[in-house]
Amino acid sequence: MDEFMAAAIAQAKQGLREGGIPIGSVLVKEGQIIGQGYNKRVQDNDPVTHAEIDCLRHAGRIGNYNDTILYSTLMPCYLCAGAVVQFGIKKVIAGESQTFAGAREFMESHGVEVVDLNLEECQQMMSDFIQQHPKLWNEDIGV
């Protein structure tokens, strides 16, 4: 596993330690992490603070996002995929999509390269969380 996905997983674990949903994300430019974040919907009582959104907020205004790569422990949902498309991020690397399929086809239809690493650690983290907190998970994905 590369250092960037490891950093995203560390973000997810931080969110879990805080009582939130274990999804983490990092934004990489020129081989450096320029933003990182995790799902803070529970912690901030904010329905749109998904990991990718938190990550982009921490990256701040960088002008052009074309040469960035977004890493996320889970395949981005439509909210986060919309941000990817809106800002022109050309590549997304997801830890897994088994527990949640996300919006892969949407991103790809807008020219985004999507890589699904199908990592057991990411799958297990989400599976455990979903099993222990199904109501909270369903709220997160809008069910």
Catalytic residue from among 3, 18, 30, 52: 52
* Residue-wise pLDDT tens digits, 78-135: 999 999 999 999 999 999 999 999 999 999 999 999 999 999 999 999 999 999 998 8
Residue where the block lists tokens 């996002």: 65
Domain residue ranges of the chain, discontinuous segments joined by +: 3-136
* Residue-wise pLDDT tens digits, 106-115: 999 999 999 9
139 included as an active-site residue: no
Residues 96 and 110: their CA atoms lie apart, in Å, by 20
Give every CB contact of residue 42 below 8 A, 6+ residues apart in sequence: 18, 19, 20, 21, 136
Find out whether 46 and 40 touch, Cβ atoms under 8 Å: yes
Beta strands 68-72; 91-94: pairing state: parallel
**Which stretches of 34-119 are DSSP H helices?**
41-44, 51-59, 78-87, 104-109
User: Which of 15, 5, 16 has its CA nearest to residue 121?
Assistant: 5
Residues 4 and 72: their CA atoms lie apart, in Å, by 9
Q: Which CATH number fits domain 3-136: 3.40.1230.10, 3.90.650.10, 3.30.1370.110, 3.40.140.10?
A: 3.40.140.10
What is the reported pTM? 0.95
136: pLDDT confidence band, cut at 50, 70 and 90?
A: confident
